[in-house]
Amino acid sequence: MKPWNVEICDVTLRDGEQTPGVSFTCTEKMEIASLLDETGVEVIEAGFPVVSDNEFRCVQQICRMGLDSRICCLARAVPGDIDAAIECEVDLVSIFIATSDLHMRIKYRCSPDEMLERALGMVDYAHDHGIAVRFAAEDASRTDHTFLQRMYAAGAEHGAEYSGFADTLGFMTPVEMIHFMEHTGSRIPNKLAVHCHNDLGCATANTITAAEYGAFQLHTTVNGIGERTGNARLEEVLALLRLKGGVDRYDLTRLPALSKKVEECSGIVMMDTKPVVGKNAFSHESGIHIAAMIEDPEAYEYLRPETVGRERQYILGKHTGRKAIEHVIASKGCSLTPGQMHWLLCQVKKVSEGKCRITDEVLMDLLREAHKQEQV
């Protein structure tokens, strides 16, 4: 299979920081940027420089870190925003305008044609100063496709390297994304960038669908943080690119450390059940599952834990079977008689049903008690 032609633009430091209550220090932003760079992310969106003097300094410092990743920032289609991007020395500036009829009506006091003309002037301005441009449509998924095509064609004519498509409200489904890619995305003259929000839980699915149908730049955030319910998750997108798209150039073993760093800096704790980086992602309790996995892990693992820097865990509990407990006990260098093993299995189920997790400490206590049972 020919690998999909894609790159990642991670927007954790910009859209991720727009998560309610989240604010990164410059040091935290630089640490996260370093980890993204080590993972192999091609583009890092470092921030929105005109937000504040501190934001400007953070973007500028990241630009001066000497990373392999290209550094991007966000800008409205106004001269002051473009000047800030130029002064920060970014590699790429994302110039956005709202394009849906609703956004046009409530945000701008001019016609769509007038707004487009003004924005193209800013594309020229940035391009003339040696900065690559992503010409992006906010609320693109609710925008008339004819207008989008005209906007993207004009942006490309003015030197924009990318056309940006944002599902700002996160209301698209993968089927709707296919329709867009087939009827509009495929006609874009430059590289298409997709930016998906997760309001209905489809951000990662929409992003991967767009990639399969030809989108080039995929926007993500670490742990899926971002406005409201967040964006497409970097860890999920990279795993899917490896497994479904044949893209193997990213160092997925960096993902646990990257996820943990963003968790610490954002204060947003990941659920145990989150794919790839969640505590339970590679934990197994069911006796039927574990018995099969002892023979061949592929029986119940499509993504191998070592691929993403994780380890498999067999968890003892209510659903544990004899083979599972024998395997866990043997891995600890212990042995029990059949009678002792039966007693231990019964106790594990009893303790677990009392809502007590079978930690290593609990298990060792039970093992000591098991050895006291009569030899059978």
The pLDDT value given to residue 368: 77
pLDDT tens, residue by residue, 96-130: 999 877 787 777 777 888 889 999 999 999 999 99
Residues 247, 288 share a domain? no
Same structural domain, 246 and 299 = no
273 belongs to a structural domain: no
The answer as to whether 132 is a domain residue is: yes
Residue 375 placed within a domain: no
Residue 376: per-residue pLDDT: 44
Same domain, 39 and 185: yes
Q: Residue 39: inside a domain, yes or no?
A: yes
- Whether 242 and 357 map to the same domain: the answer is no
Cα separation of the two ends of the chain: 57
Instruction: Give me the pLDDT at residue 341, please.
Output: 77
Q: Count up the domains in the chain and report the number.
A: 2
Boundary of a domain, candidates 266, 295, 310: 266
Residues 172 and 37 in one domain: yes
Domain boundary among the residues 215, 239, 266 is at 266
Dihedral Cα 123, 126, 132, 135, nearest 10 deg: -30
Domain boundary among 266, 301, 317: 266
Q: Find, among 43, 79, 73, 76, the residue nearest to 61 by Cα.
A: 73
What confidence category does residue 358 fall into, taking pLDDT thresholds of 50, 70 and 90? low
d(CA 61, CA 167): 30
Residue 175 belongs to some domain of the structure: yes
Please tell me whether residues 223 and 259 are part of one structural domain: yes
What mean pLDDT, rounded, does the chain reach? Answer: 91
> 89-121: buried (b, 16+ CB within 10 Å) or exposed (e) per residue?
ebbbbbbbbbbbeebbeeeeeeebeebbeebbe
**348 closest CA partner among 376, 312, 322, 311:** 322
Is 186 a member of any domain? yes
Instruction: Please determine, for residue 359, whether its predicted confidence score (pLDDT) is greater than 70.
Output: no
| Structural domain containing residue 365 | 283-370
239-261: pLDDT as tens digits = 999 999 999 999 999 999 999 99
31 pLDDT higher than 90: yes
| pLDDT for residue 155 is more than 80 | yes
3-class SS at 352? helix
Write out the two tokens for 287. Answer: 């006796």
- Asked if residue 272 is part of any domain, the answer here is no
Single-letter code of the amino acid located at 152? Y
> pTM of the prediction?
0.90
CA 240, CA 208: separation in Å to the nearest integer?
7
pLDDT at 329 > cutoff 60: yes
Q: Which amino acid is at 242?
A: R
Residue 250 shares a structural domain with residue 302? no
User: Does one domain contain both 172 and 250?
Assistant: yes
Taking the CB of residue 331, how many other CB atoms lie within 10 A of it?
9
Predicted confidence (pLDDT) at residue 360 exceeds the cutoff of 90: no
User: Based on the domain organization, do 218 and 319 belong to the same domain?
Assistant: no
Looking at residue 5, its amino acid is N
The answer to whether residues 308 and 339 touch, using CB atoms and an 8 Å cutoff, is no
Report DSSP state, residue 4: P
pLDDT greater than 60 at residue 375:
no
Q: At what angle do helices 255-266 and 26-39 cross, to 10 degrees?
A: 160
Is residue 1, in this structure, part of any structural domain at all? no
Q: What is the CATH number of the domain that holds 245?
A: 3.20.20.70
Using the predicted structure, report yes or no on whether residue 67 has a pLDDT greater than 60: yes
Short-list 187, 190, 185, CA closest to 167: 185
Q: Are residues 218 and 315 in the same domain?
A: no
Whether 236 and 291 map to the same domain: the answer is: no
User: 338 and 200: one domain?
Assistant: no
